[in-house]
A = this chain, B = another copy of it.
Amino acid sequence: MFKVNDNYLKLQGSYLFSNIAKKVAAFSAANPDKDIIRLGIGDVTQPLAPAIIKSLHGAVDEMADAATFRGYAPDLGYEFLRTTIMENDYKALGCDIAADEIFVSDGAKCDSGNIQEIFAIDNKIAVCDPVYPVYVDTNVMAGRTGVFDASSETWSDVIYMPCTAENNFAPELPKETPDIIYLCFPNNPTGAAITKDELQVWVDYANKVGAVIIYDAAYEAYITEENIPHTIFECEGARTCAIELRSFSKNAGFTGTRLGFTVIPKELKAGDVSLHALWARRHGTKYNGAPYIIQRAGESVYSPEGKVQIKEQIAYYMKNAKTIMEGLSSAGYTVSGGVNSPYIWLKTPDKMTSWEFFDYLLETANVVGTPGSGFGPSGEGYFRLTAFGTYENTVAAIERIKNL
């Protein structure tokens, strides 16, 4: 008789955003007249930029003609895209990353979930608290996290690194030595960023203790301040300890178009075994490449017109971020993030729990956000709003909250 992977049965509840969607659907069904504004899930609202649309149409036309039709893509990504990424995202910043160290995929969520597969089950992970749920959940599914303690809402074999107002939402080096460290900066959900010097401390630490850093830089395009690194490979020594995850979702609006990439330097090894080779093998065996037309769209993001258009789109969202930050501040809320990030992290008023504030905001202002506690115990008492709505909706949502 077949048996299931019972690690799945240890998972707590269902995925945060599914829960929110269910609550919103129930409220909406009960209150069909209410105009709900969604600043919860980090989904974009602006259409794809003209340069991307043009590139997509062009690639579709190529697929219509036997002479230019493309079948199976190279598992690891088309050379044209890998080279473009290398030039623009790495060489331009002085970072030594080769095109064949870049693995193109259908998005950073998939990569951040799958990357743990190439590591041993008894490796210990360290995560920020609060944290993007996918890092922890996929390790639970693999059997790497031990036993869940319902009272503390933590797993016995996970090292939690609290990110709170006290440490300015930047984790401190853990007391217990981890094998794998998940870091995400600019951070989801807190919107916090760390400087290059601060990140260098992590790279030095990882090299010293033999840990690997899985660095999620999905939000790097939102960095506005100097001294904030756009990639971990700006730090010295990162080539021997870091894997970087990148996404086209937030910088170019690809949430529904699906494209991302993972960078694994060839020097990153456990003994003789190169993680680059293991990930290549995983991609080759369990993945079949991103669609050709989508990879062409990705290339166009780096074209001269693409760059200008993308920059405008990011500025649009960052205007929303400013609107949220200033509006909530003036209404007496304690807010952070929002400067190098599309996420605003706010302290719930009147000692409400995160879910109490979620319900309160949904019911009274008809605004949807994300409860901080959904990202981990240290998120309790916080709430995430995103700058990815339309400007009109963002202004309206903030007005409603101010008027509560």
Q: Which residues of A contact B (CB under 8 A)?
A: 1-6, 8-9, 11, 14-15, 18, 41, 43-48, 50, 53, 56-57, 60-61, 63-66, 69-73, 106-107, 109-110, 113-114, 117-123, 133-134, 137-138, 141, 179-180, 209-212, 253, 255-258, 270, 273, 275, 278, 281-282, 284-294, 390
Contacts and interface: CB of A to CB of B under 8 A. Distances in A.
B60 A47 contact: no
Given A5-B117, A292-B256, A66 B46 contact: yes
List the number of copies, as a whole number: 2
Contacts of A390: 66
Contact of A64 (B53, B113, B123, B291): B53
A3 B123 contact: yes
B258 A290 contact: yes
B72 A47 contact: no
Contacts of A273: 4, 9
Given A66-B46, A66-B47, A278-B4, A287 B71 contact: no
Contacts of A211: 1-2
A72 B3 contact: no
A15 B288 contact: no
A43 B71 contact: yes
Contacts of A50: 64
A3 B345 CA distance: 35
A50 B53 CA distance: 19
Given A119-B3, A288-B109, A70 B270 contact: no
A357 B2 CA distance: 40
Contacts of A69: 45-48, 253, 256
25 contacts: A2-B119, A2-B180, A3-B270, A4-B278, A6-B120, A8-B282, A11-B281, A14-B281, A14-B284, A41-B72, A48-B69, A53-B60, A56-B293, A57-B57, A63-B257, A66-B390, A71-B255, A71-B256, A73-B256, A106-B106, A106-B258, A113-B286, A141-B282, A257-B292, A291-B294
A60 B293 CA distance: 11
A2 to B, nearest CB: 4
Given A256-B70, A291-B257, A293-B56, A119 B4 contact: yes
A248 B362 CA distance: 41
A60 B63 contact: no
Contacts of A109: 286-288
A9 B273 CA distance: 9
A191 to B, nearest CB: 20
B257 A293 contact: yes
A1 B119 contact: no
Nearest to A390: B66
Contacts of A284: 14-15, 18
